[in-house]
């Protein structure tokens, strides 16, 4: 079987490897106009706290360089721009042109210009030189990547020695009683919200499914190690519904 014909998950569906990236781009092109509104509704605003926690871990200082992969509408990039100041630099990258446009417009509205760049980029093949960034973040984007191992290796490559990767992503609830409530919300309420607010229930059903197909906390921790990261660990948020994984390039 040719590599392009190899099957990978797209939510609960199995699709040809060559088709997944295009289907993911179509999902986010559809949800881009209402992405921020839906994030607030879906998480009851908690995504802002999760991102704030991730930003508290960057260790970035004035004048340093950072990369936000699959950065969407720029929440993490905005936080890192405040951390590195005017003498630093932040790159906002995304594989989806419409999401990148939303992120650019939002950061401009927030007054950021001059030291921020916008790059259309695939997380698996980041178009940056080796040892370029002091910190790399990816927030709620890794689960949509076709080859997660390749993306982690690519992010490791572009980090400077001593630099840190932060992966903010949905994960596995820790308490058994959370699972039925979480499943009911994800598969019954979330697609309805998507239909009412964004006019798209199918994309939000995919997003719920993609969370279930994403590696759990310990599996992702092992993937970071395999990609070359050291001092790897994770922090559970919201009872494990979300986790922040982190590791350093040595």
The answer to whether residue 40 sits within a structural domain is yes
The answer to whether residue 27 sits within a structural domain is yes
pLDDT in tens, 149-197: 999 999 999 999 999 999 999 999 998 888 888 888 888 888 888 888 8
| Overall domain count for the chain | 1
Domain hosting residue 30, numbered range: 3-174+206-248
pLDDT in tens, 11-45: 888 889 888 888 888 888 887 777 778 788 888 88
The answer to whether residue 179 sits within a structural domain is no
The answer to whether residue 198 sits within a structural domain is no
Distance separating alpha carbons of residues 133 and 71, to the nearest angstrom: 15
The answer to whether residue 221 sits within a structural domain is yes
Give the predicted TM-score (pTM) of the model: 0.90
Question: CA dihedral in degrees (127, 151, 138, 53; nearest 10)?
Answer: -130
CATH of the domain at 136: 3.40.50.150
Nearest to residue 20, comparing CAs of 3, 32, 35?
3
């Amino acid at each position: 079987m040719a590599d392009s014909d190899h099957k990978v998950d797209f939510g609960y569906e199995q699709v040809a490897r060559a088709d997944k990236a295009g289907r993911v781009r179509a999902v986010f092109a559809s949800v881009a106009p209402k992405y921020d509104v839906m994030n607030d509704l879906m998480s009851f605003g908690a995504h802002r706290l999760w991102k704030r926690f991730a930003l508290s871990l960057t260790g970035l200082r004035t004048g340093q360089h950072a990369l936000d992969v699959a950065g969407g509408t720029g929440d993490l990039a905005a936080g890192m721009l405040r951390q590195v100041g005017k003498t630093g630099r932040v790159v906002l990258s995304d594989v989806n042109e419409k999401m990148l446009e939303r992120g650019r417009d939002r950061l401009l509205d927030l007054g950021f210009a001059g030291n921020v760049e916008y790059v259309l980029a695939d997380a698996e093949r980041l178009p940056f030189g080796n040892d370029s960034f002091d910190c790399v973040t990816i927030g709620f984007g890794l689960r949509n990547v076709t080859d997660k191992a390749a993306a982690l290796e690519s992010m490791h490559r572009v980090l400077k020695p001593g630099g840190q990767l932060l992966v903010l992503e949905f994960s596995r609830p820790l308490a058994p009683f959370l699972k039925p409530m979480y499943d009911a919300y994800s598969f019954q309420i979330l697609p309805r919200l998507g239909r009412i607010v964004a006019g798209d229930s199918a994309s939000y059903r995919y997003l719920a499914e993609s969370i279930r197909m994403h590696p759990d906390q310990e599996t992702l921790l092992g993937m970071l190690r395999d990609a070359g990261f050291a001092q790897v660990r994770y922090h559970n948020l919201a009872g494990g519904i979300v986790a922040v994984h982190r590791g350093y390039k040595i």
